[in-house]
Amino acid sequence: MRQIEIFDTTLRDGAQAEGISYSLEDKLNITRRLCRLGLRFVEAGNPASNPKDMEFFRRVGETDTGGTDLVAFGATRKKGTRAREDEGCRSLLAAGTRWVAVFGKSWDLHVADVLRTTPEENLAMIRDTVAFLRANGREVIFDAEHFFDGYKHNREYALQTILAAREAGACRVVLCDTNGAGFPWEIGAVTKEAVGLLGVPVGIHPHNDVGCGVASALAAVEAGAVQVQGTLLGFGERCGNVNLSTVIPNLQLKLGYDCIPREMMPHLTKTARYVAEVSNVPLSSGMPYVGKGAFAHKGGMHVDGVTKNAASFEHIPPQAVGNTRQVLLSEFSGRSALYAKLRELDSTVTRDSGITEELAEDLKRLEYEGYAFESAGASFEIFALKHLGKYQPAFTLDYFKILGEQPAVNVARSCLAVVKIQVGGKTEITSAEGDGPVHALDRALRQSLEGFYPCLSQVRLIDYKVRVMEGRAATASRVRVLIESTDGQTTWTTVGASADIIDASWQALRDSMEYKLMRDGAV
Residue 456 sits in a domain of what CATH number?
3.30.160.270
pLDDT of 340 reads 74
- The three state secondary structure string of 48-94 is CCCHHHHHHHHHHCCCCCCCCEEEEEEECCCCCCCHHHCHHHHHHHH
Alpha helix locations (H) across 369-436? 377-388
Q: Which of 225, 260, 295 is the last residue of a domain?
A: 260
| Residue 355 covered by a domain | no
Are 468 and 479 in contact by the 8 Å Cβ rule? The answer is: yes
pLDDT of 428 reads 94
| Residue 271 covered by a domain | no
140 Cβ contact list (under 8 Å, min separation 6):
99, 100, 101, 102, 130, 133, 134, 165, 169, 170, 171, 172
CB neighbour burial string for 436-461, b if at least 16 within 10 angstroms, e if fewer: bbbbbbbbbbbbbbeebbeebeebeb
* β-sheet bridge partners, residue 205: 176
Are 359 and 387 in contact by the 8 Å Cβ rule? The answer is: yes
Q: How far apart are CA 141 and CA 43, in angstroms?
A: 11
* β-sheet bridge partners, residue 140: 100
| Residue 288 covered by a domain | no
Q: How far apart are CA 2 and CA 38, in angstroms?
A: 16
Helix (H, G, I), strand (E, B) or coil at 436: coil
Q: Which of 260, 277, 312 is the last residue of a domain?
A: 260
| Residue 382 covered by a domain | no
468 lies in which domain range? 396-519
| Residue 361 covered by a domain | no
Helix (H, G, I), strand (E, B) or coil at 305: helix
Helix (H, G, I), strand (E, B) or coil at 159: helix
* Count of H-run helices and E-run strands, the chain: 17, 16
| Residue 118 covered by a domain | yes
Mean pLDDT (10-residue bins), the chain, 523 residues: 94 94 94 97 90 89 88 96 96 96 98 97 98 98 98 98 98 98 98 97 98 98 98 96 98 98 97 93 93 85 81 95 82 64 77 75 80 83 86 91 72 83 93 90 92 91 85 67 90 92 93 92 75
334: closest CA among 308, 359, 365, 309? Answer: 359
pLDDT of 303 reads 74
The residue type of 345 is: L
pLDDT of 63 reads 80
Q: Which of 235, 260, 285 is the last residue of a domain?
A: 260
326 to 249, 334, 514: CA distances (angstroms): 20, 15, 21
What strand order describes the sheet that includes 396-404?
A: 396-404, 415-423, 426-434
Helix (H, G, I), strand (E, B) or coil at 353: coil
H or E stretch including 293? none
pLDDT of 473 reads 53
pLDDT of 23 reads 92
CATH number at residue 40: 3.20.20.70
Domain count, the chain: 2
| Residue 475 covered by a domain | yes
pLDDT of 363 reads 78
173: closest CA among 137, 226, 124? Answer: 226
Q: Is the peptide bond before 407 cis (omega within 30 degrees of 0)?
A: yes
Between strands 69-75 and 99-105, the pairing is: parallel
pLDDT of 127 reads 98
Between strands 460-468 and 479-486, the pairing is: antiparallel
| Residue 96 covered by a domain | yes
Helix (H, G, I), strand (E, B) or coil at 218: helix
